[in-house]
Amino acid sequence: MAENRYSISEFIRETQQEDKGEGLFELETPRLLEVNLDGQVWAKAGAMVSYRGNIKFEREGILEHGIGRLFKKAFTGEGTPLMKANGNGKLYLADAGKKISILNLKNESLFVNGNNLLAFEPALSWDIKLMRKIAGMMAGGLFNIKITGTGMTAITTHYEPLTLAIAQGNPVYTDPHATVAWSGNLSPEFVTDVQLKTFFGRGSGESIQMKFEGDGFVVVQPYEETYFGQSSE
């Protein structure tokens, strides 16, 4: 009946949480990650939207990952501190309504832009990688994290991600602001295009490009991320 179409009971039925039995990470919705926690998980600080059960949260310690990573974080000015969630229960994570993708690494490595990393298992090792050349070209906190090993990680994108295959002799160029992740065996170069800069009338952005060569893939999003301390003008 029409009067039931917008009832509270109908709303609850359409939006209520479901147990899908998919393991540690589940996509409760395209923009909400459910973590079936029994132990520990690393997550982006501030990403928790809800939880149930006995879960404790702890911000990443200054020297928890060694002084080398501390110096890298200070150098990059990165804006993605991590938090540990420990315990048993259901944890729900989200990041500004961005779309979430779950990746199950099997003795593999992946580079992820720091702004696009949502959560990962503690069994995975990680390290901050400095974009040395681009640091001199752009202001702000553009950096990436290399994740290696076997385990699950969740990344975020503004809208739908697009994965581009890269083959020998056929390089792919991307806008750094729209680049989300790439395969761990690739080391992108940074190139500038003065004509493109003039065409767009901008001081940054499309004038600086990431060049990927080799065999692998790169993930982009249809959105240019804005980093702290960087003007888009």
In the chain, % of residues over pLDDT 90:
54
What's the pLDDT score for residue 36? 96
User: What is the CB neighbour count within 10 angstroms for residue 7?
Assistant: 11
**Is 6 part of a structural domain of the chain?**
no
**Is 112 part of a structural domain of the chain?**
yes
Which CATH number is 141's domain given?
3.60.160.10
Model confidence at 75: pLDDT above 70: no
Contact between 75 and 131 under an 8 Å Cβ cutoff? The reply is no
* pLDDT, tens only, 178-226: 999 999 999 898 888 766 655 555 444 457 889 999 999 999 999 988 7
**Is 10 part of a structural domain of the chain?**
no
What's the pLDDT score for residue 84? 92
**Is 30 part of a structural domain of the chain?**
yes
Model confidence at 136: pLDDT above 60: no
**Is 33 part of a structural domain of the chain?**
yes
Euclidean distance between CA atoms 60 and 44, whole angstroms = 10
**Is 205 part of a structural domain of the chain?**
yes
In this predicted model, which residue has the larger pLDDT, 54 or 11? 54
In this predicted model, which residue has the larger pLDDT, 224 or 230? 224
In this predicted model, which residue has the larger pLDDT, 4 or 232? 4
**Is 135 part of a structural domain of the chain?**
yes
* pLDDT, tens only, 22-46: 789 999 999 999 999 999 999 998 9
What's the pLDDT score for residue 63? 42
In this predicted model, which residue has the larger pLDDT, 229 or 17? 17
What's the pLDDT score for residue 223? 95
- Domain of residue 122 covers 21-220
**Is 2 part of a structural domain of the chain?**
no
SS (H, E, C) the chain: CHHHCCCHHHHHHHHCCCCCCCCCEEEEECCEEEEEEEEEEEEECCCEEEEEEEEEEEECCCCCCCHHHHHHHHHHCCCCCEEEEEEEEEEEECCCCCEEEEEEEEEEEEEEEHHHEEEECCCCEEEEECCHHHHCCCCCCCCEEEEEEEEEEEEEECCCCEEEEEECCECEEECHHHEEEEECCCCCEEEECHHHHHHHCCCCCCCEEEEECCCEEEEECCCCCCCCCCCCC
How far, in Å, are 92, 204, 224 from residue 27 at the CA level? 10, 35, 24
Structure tokens, 217: 């893939």
Q: Region 132-139: what's the mean pLDDT?
A: 50
What's the pLDDT score for residue 131? 65
Question: What's the total number of domains in the chain?
Answer: 1
